[in-house]
Structures are given as C-alpha cells and as structure tokens.
Structure 1
Amino acid sequence: MGSVDGLISGMSTSSVISGLMQVEAAPQTALKAKVATQQKVVTAYQGINTKMKALLTASKALVDPTAWKGGVATSSSDAATATTTSSGAQSGALSFRVNKLAAAHAVVFNSTVAATTDTIMSGSSFQIDVNGTPKTVNVTDTSLKGVVDAINKTSDLGVKATAFQVSPGQYTMQLTSTTTGSASTFDFTSGGNPFTLGAEQIVSTGADAELLVGDPATPLKVTSSTNTFKDLMNGLTVTATKVQQPTDPPVTVTVARDNEGIATKVQAMIDAANQALSEISSQTKNKSGSVPGGPLAGNSIMSQVASNVLNTVSGGTASNGSYKDVGIELTRDGQLTFDKAKFIAALDADPEKTQALFIDTAQTDVTLKTGLADKLSGVADTATQTNTGTLSRLITSGNDAITDLNHRVDDWDVRLQARQATLQKQFGAMETALGKLKNQGSWLSGQLASLG
C-alpha cells in the first residue's frame, strides 16, 4: 500500500515512516560501516603484499649465483663486436685476427634475353645440387620470370633467384644461396646448366668466417658458417665485421664482472625493502591528534613482518662479517641505506667474500642460509606465498569476512522491505479509521443540529 500523506490526519506519514525506517536500519548501517572498514583493511594488506612481492623478485635476482659472474664484454677493434648472451658468461680475455668473413655462394649467367617473358629453358624441371644434396625445381612457365618464380617458390631449396637488367633490353639471372658458409655452395647436377643464358660465372664462393688464434705462423683456425661465433667463450658471442690486414693489431675481447649491473641489483633489493617497510609503516601508524591512523593501526602481525625485514640486516652474518662492509646499514627511522661505491670497492677487492654476504651457496637448507638476499627472499616468500603466506591468509580471511557481512546486509534488505510494507499498511489503516471517525462525527453533528 502506498503512502497516504495527510489524507485525514494531515500528518506527513511518508516522513514519519522514513524516520522510523532509519531507526530500523541502524543495524544494517552498522554492518555497511563494517564492510567499508574491512575493505580498507584488505586493501592495506594487498598494498603491503604487492611491495613484499617486489622485494621477493628483487632478492631472487641476487640469489641466482650466475648474477655474480662475468657479464660485460668489450672489443678492442671495430673488426669484431662482442656481447654476452647470459649472466653466467665466463670472465677472461681472448685475442684473435679476423681472417675471413662468411660469404653466400652466388652465380650469374653471362648471356641475356630481350625480355623477362622470353623462354630460357626446355622441359618442365631441373635439379640443383646444394652441398651434395640434389633438389628438384618444377617449372610450368619456362620464361625468365617463370623460372625465377619457380625457384623462389620451391621450399627448402636453399637458393633464391633474381632477374635483373644488364642494359636496356638485356636481361639475365643470378642465383644466390639463402645461407652463408662453405656448406652453402650449389651447382647443377649431371644434367648440367638447363638455361639458354650462357655459362654460369661465380660471383662469390660460399665460405665460412674464420678467426686466427695464436702464433701467426701456425694459428688455430676458428670457423663459423656465419659471421657470428656463439660461445667462443662460455656465454660470449663474437661477430666478425671486417677482414683484418696482416699489419693490423689483433682483436682482444674481454669479459669482465658486471660490477655496475650487480650493484644495480643490490640497490633494487634495498629499494624494494624500504618501499615495503614504508608501506607497512603507513598502514599501521597510530592516530596522532587530528591525523587519523592507518587501517592496520597497532597490527602486531604487520609489525612483525617489518621487524623480520630489518632483522635480516641487524642480525648480520657470523661467518662473513658485517653487511656494513659492503655498504648496507640500518637507519634510526627503520630504513636501509646502500653505499654503491663502497659495495663496488668490496666486490673488486674480494668478489667471493662479497658474494657470500648475499648468497650462501654452501648451505643447502634454505632456512639456515645466512646471505642477505637469501634471508630477504625467505622473509618475503613467507609473507606472500599463495594460500599459505601470512599476507595471503590475511587477505583471504578479510575477503571472507566482507562476503559474510555483505550477506548479512542483503538479509537486512529483505527484513527492512517487509518492515516498511508493514508500517505503510498500518498508517494506511490509521488514515482509513480516522476517515470513518470523521464521517461518523459529521453524521452526529448533523443529527444534533436537526434536533435543535
């Protein structure tokens, strides 16, 4: 039944019902407030979880022993370039001369036709012997253009064709291997040259690239079918770019420890730890005067997570010295500092000892490892593991609580709708009753007036 504002009583029954419903809805309003508070708590946990996952990623980048090996390659000459293909590249130096560059096999024909549509062969196929393997090319159009198309469309042939104009109205063809190296050579099989384009002339012979190492009189020869020599040293790729003259100095390629790169990874780990600590501090701060506290104010579990991060540094390592020796210290306000120059100096002076401060390769039990990266990785992993991590469980528990509260809010919707309907019915009945009373009063007044 709808509202009947002021029909008989003159009162705003809808306003009265609205006021009563606000009182009735107080428990639901309280539940909604709890939902909002719980959502802030879950969001806070999620923010800390994100920062701790970033710390896990950054620390794992240093837990990998290959991150501490050689990684920067340099070349002394523009005759060759050098790059490392993995973080585990072998440190060291190698000298050599670039004696040959890799070449693709190519031939051209010394006669021409007047147009690319002119016929240059008879029959419907021919064979090309590619590095000792005969391969058949089927031809349906025996013109110069048709033969070029047939060669280029033959899969796995290893040879491509090009028709080109020698002079106005004079066309011929070049065949070129699709790869370089001595294995790229090709020739026609026993059937011979099938084309009416004259004799074939070698443009270039397929050849391997060649480096000479050692005594110039009796050098060791290092060959590659391309100009790229992969794993010339472990993790090192060298690319030859030009042939050297006998009087040119040899190329010296050096692979050195990537101290800058390692320092950058350490800085990233320290930054990630500080960001996680700052996030925990922000979310757990207590109210101060008019400044509100964080959603997790006074949360002892999160305070313990922060302590676990800080203790990885304050605890040090009994066997390898202090983290201060490699530029890492704690500040009074609960942050970590990193002195990059001090770290690089320590790494230069004693690479093994410096590495041991971050990763404990001797210990197989993860929980007993003493390296800083090991410990930070363990703290972050314990906090963020899916389903079992401290933060993961708190987030799941918080979301479950929100779901339960929302169900209770929904239940109140049903109860309040029923209550509102009851109030509307009651007030409607009241107006109806008042209407009857008014009618009776009017009748009585009329009767009394007739008696007078």
Structure 2
Amino acid sequence: MVSSIGIDGLISGMKTSEIIDQLLAVEGNQQKLLASKRTGLQSVVTALQSLNTKVASLGTAATTALKAESWQATTATASSTAVTAVTSKDASPSSLTLTVDKLAASQSTLYTLPSSYTSGKPGFTLTVGGEAKTIVASSPHIGDVVAAFNAEGTGVTASAVNVGTADAPVYKLQLTGTATGADNGFTVAATNANEGTSLTGQELRAAADAKVTLWPGTPGQTEVTSASNSFKGLLTGVDLTVSKAGTEEVTVTVARNAASMSKLASNLVTNLNAVLGDIADRTKATSGTAADGGSILKAGLLSGNTAVRVLQQSVLAAGTIEVDGKSPASVGIVVGRDGTFTFDEAAFTTAYTEDPAAAQKMVQAVSAALETAATAASDSTKGTLTAQITSYQSEVTDLADRIADWDDRLATRRASLTRIYTAMEVSMSQMQSTSNFLSQQLAQLNANNAS
C-alpha cells in the first residue's frame, strides 16, 4: 500500500488519506465479494473431499465382501490341548482324528574328553546329519572347548557339566543338537588325541521324529512322521503342532469362521453409516440470525447438490435391496426410521449358521449395489463427486488469481489517487502563494498612493 502521509491537509485542510481509503474501499467491494465466494467454494470442496473419502472406503469394503476368497476364512479347533491347528486361505471345512504317538527330539550326548588333552589345540570331527565339520578349540580348557562347539553354524550347543565337586571339579562336555528329527543326529570324534585315547560318550537323548497316527483303529490307520513337532499341510491349508504324546484320540475340526464373515457385513454397515451421516450433517439446515435480528434457517453446505442427493438415494437403495424376497435385515443389516443402519451380529450368525450360501448371497448382493453406487460417485476419472471437486477447485484457483489481480489494481489506484491529491495540494499551494503576492503588491500600491 502506497502511503499518503505528508499530503493530508497540506493546504486544503482535507484528510486526503481517509478520502483515498474510502474511495478504495468502495472500489474494493468487488474484491471482497470474490474473496467471500472463494471461501464458500473452498468450504464446499473440503466437504466434498471428505465425503468422497468416505465413499471410497465404502467401495473398498464392498469390493472386499464381493471377493469369493473373503468368504473362505476358516478356523480350526482341536479336542485336546495336545494339538494346535492353524488354517490358511486354502483350508476348507473338514475333520481329522489322530493320536500323538511321539514328540520330536534333538540328540543330547555327554562326552568325556581324552585325558591326553592337556596342551595344544584339541580338534574334533563333528558330523551332523551326515555333514562333517572340523572343530578346533584354542586350548584344552573346558571353556575354550565349549566355545568352539558353540560357534555359529556347528549345529549343536555345548555346555560344561561339573560331575566332580566345587573343590575338585571334573568336567564333561554336553552337546545338544539345535534341530530335532532322526536325520539330525550327530557323532563326535577326537582328531588329534594320543594313540590309544578316544572320545567316549553317553547318549542322554536320541534324535527322533514326531509321529502321529491318523484315523487310529480303522482300516485306514496311517502313521505320519515329521522332523519337528509341526506337521505342515496335514490337511489342505491346515498346519498342526503337537505338544504332548499319549493314547488319547484327538479330533481336529475345520469350520467356516463365522466371526470373519460377520465382519464383512459389519464393515459394510459401518462405512454405509459414515457416508449417510456425512451427507446428513452437510445438508441439514441450521438456525441463523437475519439482518433485522430475527431467526432464519440456513441451508446446509451441500443441500441442493444433485450429485450428493443421488448418492444418498443410491446407497439407501443398496442397503435395503431384496434378494429372493428377503431384505438385508434377514442377515442383520437393518435400516431404521431415521435412515441409519445397524448391524445385528446375532441375527447374522444365526442366518449364516442355518444357510451359509444364502447369507453370503444376501451380503454380496448388498455389496454389489454399494460398489456400483460408490464407483459412480468416487471413481477417480468419471465419478460425480470427483468431477465436482475438480470443477470447484478450478474455480477456487481462478478466484484466487482474480483476487490477486485486484490487489495490484487497488495498489495502482491508490498510487494514482495519491498523485492526484498531491498535485491538488501543490496547485493550491501555488495559488495561495500567488494570492499572497498579489495582496502584498496591492498593499504596497495603496501605501504609495496614500503618501
């Protein structure tokens, strides 16, 4: 802003800076109108963007519920804690009876080191699962021997066991395999002991596979072994882990996961209400104050918006669609008198338990209708809300440019008015100087005539 300080009432006595401000205020009304319009449009853009995000989430929930694999979720239960079952997406309803005959074990052996190991660097040949490895300790000290066997990748863990007393310790070397299974047993031989001296060992536990018997006591009885206590894919898409051996028959049952199915429907209702709630909040009228002080109703920000109204009608219709003469309420998707939805999990569970296929068909019909409505509104290229947002954003940008132009125009106008009033004051100053000169000349002339 160009300052007008220094010209106020210089000769005329007028407050020229105030006059200029008032003139610019009148001319700047158009800029204020543009700014007000821009603010209003930006509010609409923000509201539409918020709604569009919720609609997109509704579309995602609907798409998920439409996928066949979303309805394949299963859970597995076992009749005994001796067996734990975990399912994957490939599992299907089934059952299996078995006994846990044996748990997998790793080998554990106690070794007496050769008495000749009193100096130098003791060496050993460790063979694990048929693979031979050379182990060399830095000294005969039991701690160094243990450290050598505990090096990374040896396939065993080592510890020193004192079988003597605290005052007269006698150490033995205990080796334990890091992997279970019969094929993971090991042997150890001393490679540089004196002639006639060998490494003796006492097996504490043999390496063993886990073993289960399927369909025990039937003609189909079959034994299955595993190097670990886990049996991968014993049933399609089902992994079993055994933790206790015994003669007890254990039944593993794989069933559809009703809770996961219920979640699909529940997510639809949650996202549906989010969309409808946002529309209700943005379109409802609010109380306001008129210019005369009276009360008036102010229309909601998005009231009268055709795209929003169509969206509201579409999702309401989708949420109440009928399938085979039944409404979504039959699977717990219930619409209230106020137009909002609730989800009755108990009703869904009952419906799904009685007829899984029919419950799935109903939820997927609702999902298909909701996906269509959501796509029509929020598609990134041709959605009705997307198009409005793009259009309004362009208007907001254009208004911002026009407001900026007005800044330049008003600044130029201020400078022009300042020059005009400055010139006026200068002209009036010159006229006053001329007037003073003439007055002085007349006074002098009168004085001369009088004399």
Structure 1 length normalisation: TM-score?
0.83
Structure 2: state its 5+ residue gaps: 288-294
For the pair 1:80 / 2:83, whether they are aligned, the reply is yes
How is 1:329-340 mapped onto 2 (pairs within 5 angstroms)? 329-340=334-345
Give the whole-Å Cα distance in 1 for the aligned partners of 2:280 and 2:77.
45
Structure 1 stretches of at least 4 aligned residues deviating more than 6 Å after TM superposition = none
User: What are the superposed Cα offsets for residues 377-415 of structure 1, whole Å, 9 maximum, x if unpaired?
Assistant: 232233223233332232222222222221222222222
Identify the match of residue 233 of structure 2 among 228, 231, 234.
231
User: Is the CA contact (8 Å cut-off) linking 2:99 and 2:212 kept in structure 1?
Assistant: yes
**2:211 aligned residue:** 210
CA 1:445–1:315: 2 relative to 1, 3 Å: same
Give the whole-Å Cα distance in 1 for the aligned partners of 2:230 and 2:299.
62
Identify the match of residue 298 of structure 1 among 296, 299, 304.
304
CA 1:118–1:154: 2 relative to 1, 3 Å: farther
Farther-moved stretch of structure 1 (298-307 vs 45-54):
45-54
User: Is the CA contact (8 Å cut-off) linking 2:122 and 2:138 kept in structure 1?
Assistant: no
Q: For residue 238 of structure 1, give the secondary structure of its aligned residue in structure 2.
A: strand
CA 1:16–1:109: 2 relative to 1, 3 Å: farther
Give the whole-Å Cα distance in 1 for the aligned partners of 2:311 and 2:320.
14
CA 1:267–1:441: 2 relative to 1, 3 Å: same
User: Is the CA contact (8 Å cut-off) linking 1:285 and 1:294 kept in structure 2?
Assistant: yes
CA 1:165–1:85: 2 relative to 1, 3 Å: farther
Give the whole-Å Cα distance in 2 for the aligned partners of 1:59 and 1:192.
72
Give 1:177 shift.
2.6
Q: For residue 9 of structure 1, give the secondary structure of its aligned residue in structure 2.
A: coil
CA 1:24–1:84: 2 relative to 1, 3 Å: same
Equivalenced residues, count: 429
User: Is the CA contact (8 Å cut-off) linking 2:121 and 2:136 kept in structure 1?
Assistant: no
**2:74 aligned residue:** 71
**1:130 aligned residue:** 128
Give 1:151 shift.
4.3
CA 1:122–1:70: 2 relative to 1, 3 Å: closer
User: Is the CA contact (8 Å cut-off) linking 2:61 and 2:264 kept in structure 1?
Assistant: yes
CA 1:22–1:149: 2 relative to 1, 3 Å: farther
Give the whole-Å Cα distance in 2 for the aligned partners of 1:56 and 1:119.
76
CA 1:257–1:193: 2 relative to 1, 3 Å: farther
User: Is the CA contact (8 Å cut-off) linking 1:120 and 1:197 kept in structure 2?
Assistant: no
CA 1:11–1:237: 2 relative to 1, 3 Å: farther
Give 1:304 shift.
0.7
Give the whole-Å Cα distance in 2 for the aligned partners of 1:68 and 1:446.
110
User: Is the CA contact (8 Å cut-off) linking 1:70 and 1:91 kept in structure 2?
Assistant: no
Letter in 2 for 1:203: L
Letter in 2 for 1:178: T
**2:390 aligned residue:** 396
For the pair 1:51 / 2:54, whether they are aligned, the reply is yes
Structure 1: state its 5+ residue gaps: 360-370
Identify the match of residue 158 of structure 2 among 132, 141, 161.
161
**2:290 aligned residue:** none
How is 1:299-448 mapped onto 2 (pairs within 5 angstroms)? 299-317=305-323, 319=324, 321-359=326-364, 371-448=365-442
User: What are the superposed Cα offsets for residues 163-219 of structure 1, whole Å, 9 maximum, x if unpaired?
Assistant: 46555354443333332222322224795999x994233333222222222235984
Give 1:299 shift.
0.6
Give 1:266 shift.
0.9
CA 1:121–1:139: 2 relative to 1, 3 Å: closer
How is 1:143-292 mapped onto 2 (pairs within 5 angstroms)? 144-155=142-153, 157-163=154-160, 168=166, 169-188=169-188, 198-216=199-217, 219-244=221-246, 246=247, 249-286=248-285, 290-292=296-298
User: Is the CA contact (8 Å cut-off) linking 2:284 and 2:303 kept in structure 1?
Assistant: yes
User: What are the superposed Cα offsets for residues 289-320 of structure 1, whole Å, 9 maximum, x if unpaired?
Assistant: 63432222201111111111122244423x57
User: Is the CA contact (8 Å cut-off) linking 1:41 and 1:295 kept in structure 2?
Assistant: yes
User: Is the CA contact (8 Å cut-off) linking 1:112 and 1:171 kept in structure 2?
Assistant: no
Letter in 2 for 1:95: T
CA 1:112–1:38: 2 relative to 1, 3 Å: farther
User: What are the superposed Cα offsets for residues 114-139 of structure 1, whole Å, 9 maximum, x if unpaired?
Assistant: xxx9757446xx54322112334566
Give 1:257 shift.
2.3
Q: For residue 7 of structure 1, give the secondary structure of its aligned residue in structure 2.
A: coil
Give the whole-Å Cα distance in 1 for the aligned partners of 2:88 and 2:392.
46
**1:92 aligned residue:** 94
Q: For residue 296 of structure 2, give the secondary structure of its aligned residue in structure 1.
A: coil
Give the whole-Å Cα distance in 2 for the aligned partners of 1:7 and 1:197.
121
Quick one: percent identity of the two aligned structures?
Answer: 34
